[in-house]
Amino acid sequence: MDDPAWRWIAVSRRTLHALGDRAQPRWTHPAAWWVWALGLATAASRTTNPLLLAMIIAVAGWVVARRRPDAPWSRSFAVFLRLGFIVVAFRVLFMVFFGSGIGAHVLLTLPEVPLPDWAAGISIGGPITAEELLLALFQGLALATMLACLGAANSLASPTRLLASVPAALYEIGVAVVVAMTFAPQLVGGVTRVRTARRLRGRSHRGVRAFAGSVMPVLEGALERAVDLAAAMDARGYGRTGPISRRLRISSAALLLIGLLGVCLGVYSLLDAGTPGNIGLPALCAGAVAGIVGLALAGRRTVRTRYRPDPWAMPEILLCVTGLVPAVAMVTASLIDPVSLVGQSTPPAWLGLPLVPAVAIACAMLAGVLTPPPPGAPSLRRLHAERAQDAVTEVAA
Amino acid sequence: MIRFEDVSVVYDGASRPVLSHVNLHVPEGELVLVVGRTGSGKSTLLRCVNGLVPHFTGGTLSGRVTVEGRDTRTHPPRELADIVGIVAQDPLSGFVTDMVEDELAYGMESIGLAPAVMRRRVEETLDLLGLADLRNRPLLSLSAGQRQRVAIGSVLTTHPRILVLDEPTSALDPGAAEEVLAALQRLVHDLGVTVLLAEHRLERVVQYADRVILVPGAGEPVVVGTPADIMISAPVAPPVVELGRLAGWAPLPLSVRDARRAAGPMRERLAPLADQAALRARAALHVVSGEPALAVRDLVVRYGPQTALRGVTLAADRGEIVAVMGRNGAGKSTLLSTLVGLHVPRSGSALVGGSTASQLSGPDLVRRVGLVPQEPTDLLVADRVDEECEASDRDCGAARGSTRAILDRLAPGIAADTHPRDLSEGQRLSLALAVVLAAEPPVLLLDEPTRGLDYPAKKHLVATLRDLAASGHCVMLATHDVELAADVASRVIVLADGEIVADGPATDVVVGSPMFAPQVSKILAPQHWLTVADVAAALVEAS
C-alpha cells in the first residue's frame, strides 16, 4: 500500500468523490463562482458573434439550473436575463431612430426629421438597414450576455458567505452590508403591510398620494426593526473586542493611513504621464504592503472566529479553471484571429462558429458537473411530486 | 445566579418609575415565570438581566443587578453574551444572518469560540431543538414555531447559564407552543439552565414554573413565590386556576392533571345538569338570524407555487361568532384576507354581503367587511388618538365623532393626545376595532386578536365581541387561543393544510380534541363544559 502509485490512485479516487453529484452537498466557495462567472463575462466581452454569445448564456443558465441553492437571493438569474432583454431592445430602438443608414440592404425608410446645420452628423429617422440593425442586435446581445454572467454569479454565490470571507478588520462593514441585505426584503414586506392597511381603511392604495402616505409608516417600521436588531446583536456579543495595546492600535491606524496615501499617489502617477520621476509603481506597491499589514494588525483586535469557512479545495480550483479557459481562449483568439469573433453584419452573412472558442465555452459547462451540489437544494424528484400533487388538487377543485 | 438589589428603573421623560425597589434572587437551574398585566414592566425586568436596560434603552437604573457576580453597571450586554441569552418577542427582528445554521453560529463567532467547538455545539443544538431538517433553510421560509426554536437555539449555542424569553409562545399554535416548552423543559432539567420567561398565556406555562414573579405594575412592589401561592390572588390567572378558586380547591391545582384529580366531586354535582345547562347557556348567547353574511364556495388561493387554500366552502350568518383554528400556516390568515379581497382566488368565490370581495374597494369594501389585522398598529396612521378618529370618520364617510364614540364604548378614558404606540395592547386593539367599526360593516374579521392581551383585556374583548354579535354582526376570528375560542365562539372551523377538517358548534368541535380543547373541558371531561363562567352559572342554578 505504501507504493507511491497506489497512494496516487487513492488520492485521486478521493478527489473524484469530492466532485460532482456524488459528493456530499456543501457550499462551493462564493469567490470561485465569481471567478468562473467573470471568466465567462470576459469571454463575452471579446465577441459579438451571436452564436458564441448564445452559447455563453445557455451555459450560464444550465449551470444555474443545476447548482442554484434554494434561497431568496438565488432567484436573480431571471431578473438579469430580463434586464439583458431590455438592453437589447434599447440598443435596437436607438439604432432605428438615430442610425445613419449605412449599408446596402434598406429594410424600410422612416420619415426623417430635419435638423439644423449645427447638428450635422446626427439624423433622426431615415432609412433603416439590415446591416445596422444586426450590428445593434449583436452589440446589445454582448451586453446582455455579460449581464447574464453577473446574474449567474448572483444566483450561485451567497452574498453573505462571500462577505464572511473578508479580512477580520473589515468584518464590521461586512455585517452592516449583510444586515442591509436582509433588510430589503423586510422593507418590501413593510410596504405590502401598509398597502394592505390602506385598503382595509377604504383608502386608495394606488397613486402618488397613497405612496406619500405610506412612506412614513414603512420607515417607522424599518427604524423599529433596526433598533430591535441592534439590541439583539448587542446582546449576542456583537462588537466584543479583545485586549489590545495602545501601541498596536496606533501603529495599525498609522499603517492603514500610509497605505491609503501610497496607493492614491501610485495610481495618480501611473495614470498621469506628467508626474515627475518614476515613482508610480514603487509607491503603489509600498502603499499596498502597508495597507495589508495595517489590516492584519487591526484584525487582531476582534476576538471573532469563523464557523465552517468555505474550504478552497479541488472543486474550487477546477471551477476557476473552467471559468478561465473560455476567457483565455477568447482573448487569445481575439488577438490571433479577430474576424471570426465578430458577428458578421456588413454584408449580412451566415455565421460561422469558430471551433476553439466554442469548445472553450463548452468547457465552462463542466462547472455544473464538477462542483458539489449546494446543501438543501430542492431535489428534482420532490419538485415533480409537488407539481403532481398540485395538479391533482386542481383537477379535484 | 441573578440578583436584583433595590433596583428601580425610570425611563427618560417618564414621571413614574417602571420598577421600584425590586429585590430578587433567582437561584441556578430554576424555571421562573414573570407574570403581570401588559405594561406592568415585565419586559423591563427581563431586559435588566443582561443590561439592555439601561445600556441600550436609556433611562436610569438605580440599585444593582448582578449576574453570576458580574455587575451590569460595568458590563454592557455584549460582555454578558456568554452567560445570558435573550430571546425577544418577535424572533425575526433579532436574526442577523439569513440561514438557520449560520444564525446558530453567529453568537459563538462573536465571542470567539474555536471552530471545532462551534461545529460540535451547532450539531448538538440542532438535535436538542429538533432543527436538524431545517439546517440549510433560509430563515424567512420558516414557520413561526420553527423561527422561535431557531431563535432559542441561536442564543443557546454560546452555552449561557441563563436564558431569558419574552413571550415565547404567544404567536404559536398549541402544538408548536408545546414543542418550544418541551425544549425549555429539557434545558432546565437536563442542562441546569436557569430560565426566566414572561408569558401571557399562563395556561400553557404555569405548571412548568418553579417560581413566579408577579409584577403588579404602577411601581407596586414585586411579589415572588411558588406558583400556587401567587396564583391564589394574582390579577391574571389561567382557567384551571379560576376553576380551582371557584371550587375552593386547596392546594390550588396548576395543571389539568392535578385539577382532574381534585375535580371528582364537582363532576358528580354537575353531572345531572351537564348537557342541557351548558347548551342553554350557549344558545342564549347567540341568536343566529339566518340572514347570510358571507359565503365562500370551493375557494382555491395560491401564492406562486404554494397552495394556501384548497377548495374551502363555508357560509356564515349574521349573529354568529366563528372561530377559525388550525396550525401556523394552515391558511387561517389567507382565508380572512381573501374575504377582504387582498387575494384574488385562483378558482371558486368569496362573497361578502353578496358581492365578490376582490372586486370591491374603497368605501364599498369597508361598509361590507372590516378586518383587524394581526398587528393592529398596521391599521393606524396618525400620531394622536383624536387625529386617528377624525381620519377614520373621513375615510368611511361617517358623521364626525362617530369613531370616537365607538372607542369610548369599547375602551373608555383614552386621552385624545396619546400616541397610538403608547397605548396598551388592549387599548390599541380597541382603537383599531373602533376604526374598523366606524364604517358599520356587517362582517367583522379579526386575525389573532389576543396576541399580547392579558386575561382582563381578553375578558373585555370577549364581552365586546358578544355585544357585536348580539347587534347583528357576523364575527369571524382566526386564533390559536383555545380558551378564547371556547369562551366566545358559537361555531369553530378547523383548517389543516388549506382544507376544512371540522366545522360545527364549539362544543362539538373543541371538546375531545387533544389540541383544541380548553382546560375546563379537559378537567371536566367527559362532560361538555367549555368555560369557567358556564360552570359557575350552572352551579348557581343547581343550588
Q: Give the pLDDT of residue A225.
A: 80
Which of B426, B491, B508, B423 lies closest to B460 in space, CA to CA?
B426
Are A300 and A244 within 8 A, CB to CB? yes
- Is residue B12 domain-shared with residue B59, that is, in the same domain? yes
Are B165 and B198 within 8 A, CB to CB? yes
Instruction: Identify whether B119 is part of a domain.
Output: yes
The verdict on A386 touching B (C-beta cutoff 8 Å) is yes
Residues of chain A contacting B378 with CB distance shorter than 8 Å: 193-194, 196-197, 217
The β-bridge partners of A130 are none
Which of B343, B344, B279, B289 lies closest to B317 in space, CA to CA?
B289
Smallest CA–CA separation between A227 and chain B, in Å? 9
Residue B401, domain extent: 379-440
pLDDT at position B81 over 60:
yes
SS3 B20: strand
Instruction: Please give the Cα distance from A181 to A196 (Å, whole number).
Output: 24
Q: Give the pLDDT of residue B235.
A: 85
Are B49 and B71 within 8 A, CB to CB? no
> What phi and psi, each to the nearest 5 degrees, are found at residue B163?
-120, 125
C-alpha cell of residue B366: 369597508
Considering CB atoms only, which of A182, A201, A236 is closest to B110? A236
The verdict on A247 touching B (C-beta cutoff 8 Å) is no
- Say yes or no for a CB contact (<8 Å) between A228 and B105: no
Which of B494, B428, B483 lies closest to B458 in space, CA to CA?
B483
Instruction: Please give the Cα distance from B362 to B352 (Å, whole number).
Output: 15
Residue type, A324: L
pLDDT at position A267 over 90:
no
Q: Give the pLDDT of residue A224.
A: 80
- From B188, B215, B236, the end of a domain falls on B236
Q: Tell which wins on pLDDT, B130 or B290.
A: B130
Instruction: Please give the Cα distance from B313 to B321 (Å, whole number).
Output: 17
Q: Give the pLDDT of residue A362.
A: 94
Average pLDDT score over residue span A184-194: 76
pLDDT band at A294 (very low <50, low <70, confident <90, very high): confident
Number of domains in chain B: 3
- From B211, B236, B261, the end of a domain falls on B236
Which of B495, B372, B481, B388 lies closest to B429 in space, CA to CA?
B372
pLDDT band at B85 (very low <50, low <70, confident <90, very high): very high
Residues of chain A contacting B119 with CB distance shorter than 8 Å: 307-308
The verdict on B84 touching A (C-beta cutoff 8 Å) is yes
Instruction: Identify whether B373 is part of a domain.
Output: no
Residues of chain A contacting B379 with CB distance shorter than 8 Å: 197, 200-201
Contact map slice: B 101-120 vs A, CB within 8 A: 101-102, 105-115, 118-119
Distances (CA, A) of B528 to B276, B523, B532: 10, 10, 12
- Say yes or no for a CB contact (<8 Å) between A240 and B348: no
Average pLDDT score over residue span B444-448: 93
The verdict on A175 touching B (C-beta cutoff 8 Å) is yes
- Say yes or no for a CB contact (<8 Å) between B340 and A242: no
If 0-12 CB within 10 Å is exposed, 13-18 middle and 19+ buried, where does residue A189 land?
A: middle
Residues of chain A contacting B342 with CB distance shorter than 8 Å: 196, 199
Residues of chain B contacting A204 with CB distance shorter than 8 Å: 361-362
| Number of C-beta neighbours around residue A296 at 10 A | 14
- Is residue B218 domain-shared with residue B84, that is, in the same domain? yes
Q: How big is the A-B interface in CB pairs under 8 Å?
A: 186
Contacts of A318 (CB under 8 A, 6+ apart): A19, A366, A370, A371
Are B21 and B185 within 8 A, CB to CB? no
- Is residue B394 domain-shared with residue B349, that is, in the same domain? no
Considering CB atoms only, which of B96, B114, B340 is closest to A200? B340
End-to-end CA distance of chain B: 52
- Is residue B294 domain-shared with residue B216, that is, in the same domain? no
CATH number at B200 reads 3.40.50.300
pLDDT band at A264 (very low <50, low <70, confident <90, very high): confident
- Is residue B126 domain-shared with residue B203, that is, in the same domain? yes
> What phi and psi, each to the nearest 5 degrees, are found at residue B162?
-130, 135
The verdict on A93 touching B (C-beta cutoff 8 Å) is no
Q: Tell which wins on pLDDT, A19 or B17.
A: B17
The β-bridge partners of B307 are B302
pTM above 0.80, yes or no: no
- Is residue B19 domain-shared with residue B99, that is, in the same domain? yes
Residues of chain B contacting A179 with CB distance shorter than 8 Å: 96
pLDDT at position B285 over 70:
no
Domain boundaries, chain A: 30-163+310-387, 166-235, 246-299
H or E element: which one contains B30? none
pLDDT tens-digit map of A353-388: 888 899 999 999 999 988 988 887 555 445 555 556
- Is residue B386 domain-shared with residue B348, that is, in the same domain? no
Q: Give the pLDDT of residue A1.
A: 47
Smallest CA–CA separation between B389 and chain A, in Å? 12
Residues of chain A contacting B114 with CB distance shorter than 8 Å: 305
- Say yes or no for a CB contact (<8 Å) between A304 and B110: yes
Instruction: Identify whether B374 is part of a domain.
Output: no
Are B169 and B181 within 8 A, CB to CB? yes
- Is residue B167 domain-shared with residue B212, that is, in the same domain? yes
pLDDT band at A62 (very low <50, low <70, confident <90, very high): very high
pLDDT tens-digit map of A69-97: 877 778 889 889 999 999 999 999 988 88
C-alpha cell of residue B282: 350557549
Residue-averaged pLDDT of chain A: 81
pLDDT at position B136 over 80:
yes
Q: Tell which wins on pLDDT, B448 or B305.
A: B448
Contact map slice: B 420-459 vs A, CB within 8 A: 435-436, 439
Which of B327, B369, B321 lies closest to B490 in space, CA to CA?
B321
> What phi and psi, each to the nearest 5 degrees, are found at residue B308?
-90, -40
Contact map slice: B 312-371 vs A, CB within 8 A: 337, 340-342, 347-348, 361-363, 365-366, 370-371
Instruction: Please give the Cα distance from A44 to A55 (Å, whole number).
Output: 10
Average pLDDT score over residue span A170-191: 73
Are A80 and A151 within 8 A, CB to CB? yes
Interface test with B, best of A27, A163, A191, A307 (most B CBs within 10 A): A307
- Is residue B313 domain-shared with residue B395, that is, in the same domain? no
Q: Give the pLDDT of residue A381.
A: 47
- Lowest-pLDDT range of A372-386, B51-65, B134-148, B269-283: A372-386
End-to-end CA distance of chain A: 65
pLDDT band at B62 (very low <50, low <70, confident <90, very high): very high
Pairing of strands B2-10, B19-26: antiparallel
Q: Give the pLDDT of residue B103.
A: 92
Which of B472, B477, B469, B482 lies closest to B449 in space, CA to CA?
B477
Average pLDDT score over residue span B495-511: 88
The verdict on B311 touching A (C-beta cutoff 8 Å) is yes
- Is residue B93 domain-shared with residue B211, that is, in the same domain? yes
Rounded (10°) angle between helices A50-67 and A130-156: 20
Q: Tell which wins on pLDDT, A341 or B404.
A: B404
- Is residue B81 domain-shared with residue B186, that is, in the same domain? yes
The β-bridge partners of B35 are B214
Are A270 and A284 within 8 A, CB to CB? yes
Average pLDDT score over residue span A335-341: 81
Q: Give the pLDDT of residue A302.
A: 72
- Is residue B509 domain-shared with residue B410, that is, in the same domain? no
Average pLDDT score over residue span B290-308: 85
- Say yes or no for a CB contact (<8 Å) between B395 and A236: no
The verdict on A355 touching B (C-beta cutoff 8 Å) is no
pLDDT tens-digit map of B324-378: 998 888 889 899 999 998 889 999 999 998 888 888 888 888 889 999 988 888 8
pLDDT band at A42 (very low <50, low <70, confident <90, very high): very high
Are B454 and B427 within 8 A, CB to CB? no
Considering CB atoms only, which of B90, B138, B436 is closest to A71? B138
- Lowest-pLDDT range of A17-21, B194-198, B233-237, B463-467: A17-21
pLDDT band at B284 (very low <50, low <70, confident <90, very high): low
Smallest CA–CA separation between B118 and chain A, in Å? 6
Q: Give the pLDDT of residue B31.
A: 94
Which of A147, A138, A159 lies closest to A60 in space, CA to CA?
A147
Instruction: Please give the Cα distance from A115 to B288 (Å, whole number).
Output: 79
